[in-house]
Structure 1
Amino acid sequence: MTLQWTAVAFFLYAEIGVNVILCVPFLSAQRWRSVFNWRIWSWLSPYWNKCFFTMIMVLIVLFLDAVREVHKYSGPEPMQDAKVNPNVYDHVHMKLFRAQRNLYISGFSLFLWLIMRRVVTLLNQVAVTLENNAGVQAQMDSALKAAQQHQEDNLTLKQALLEGDKSMSATKQQMKLEVEKLAGQLKAAEDAVRRSHAEVEAMRRQAKGLAQEYDRLLREHHQLQAPDAAHSFIL
């Protein structure tokens, strides 16, 4: 195996290892996101796209070269020469085997390189989605708590209003009884005042009658004293 295909083979093994590690089930997407947020990745991020597309171009070139080699050694001309010379037959098959091996190595390297980038992107998206879901869940929990608190406040207010209505109705009933009691007392006082006025009027009429009677008696007294005085003057 030449140096370039040895490097591609090691690159393929590295890709397999990285993809296996990325697909480990007990490493969550949030943990991978924290790993991807290391400072070294931010330092390498300006070169990442260039490196990615460069590797794609290199792997595509190697893949096309492997396809060309497979097509070259699987054609009719090498097989005709191999039938004539048995040593050439073994050499052609060895070349064809190497070309197919290189084709598989470059093809799987290209495929896993694309898969690895896609897996990293999906892990980041899943981590962001989980963080957003956690934020939305926290907002929903706070909104639910606020709604429950609002409902409890409404129940407390309704109970307070019911108690206020009950106390107000009791107060109204008590005030109504007090008003009725005061109205009865006022009526009794008015009756007492009317009776007092009637008694005063009767006493006034009686006093007036007594005064008239006194005046009459006084006049009769003067009339009775007048003849006695005249008789004593004559004597």
Structure 2
Amino acid sequence: MVLLAVLVLFFLDAIREMKKYSSSEVDNAHGHLDAEMQVNMRLFRAQRNFYISGFALFLSLVIRRLVILISTQATLLAQSEAAMRQAKSATTTAQSLLAQNQASVAQNDTNEAHDREITELKEKLAKAEKALVLEKKDKEAIKSQAESVNAEYDRLSEEHRKLQATVESAGGEPKKYA
């Protein structure tokens, strides 16, 4: 947040400097050549700082949004994995209890309590399977979200490449500032 505030301050300072040197250029239209070159140099630096700070501000917002999306996706994925493990554990427990109950039912023909327990376990198994299906759907949704984020990133990268090519074709080669 502090970095964002600093970038905004740099951006506003660059705008102020551009206005300052643009207006002085009109006042000293026929001044000394050296003074005019210094004003133009300062205007160039102000414009350069404006573009650099504006682009840095934009990128900081984009990066912040990507970090939020990625952390949300990681949290959802971890929750999905935990729920899947829990559902699988419940399913195996229910199946093992069902297997044990089937062996005891063969020995005890008139055991109604076991029959009730079996139906309860079957209901739990059905609930666990429903939960498993829901978790699979959640996992697929997370995967599709990740693919859409990846596609958006690829699109932005391609757009950046095209803009870079446009800048290179318009100006000869991209200018790097130190």
TM category (shorter chain) comes to 0.3 to 0.5
Structure with higher Rg: it is 1
The alignment's TM-score, normalised by the length of structure 2, stands at: 0.45
The alignment's TM-score, normalised by the length of structure 1, stands at: 0.36
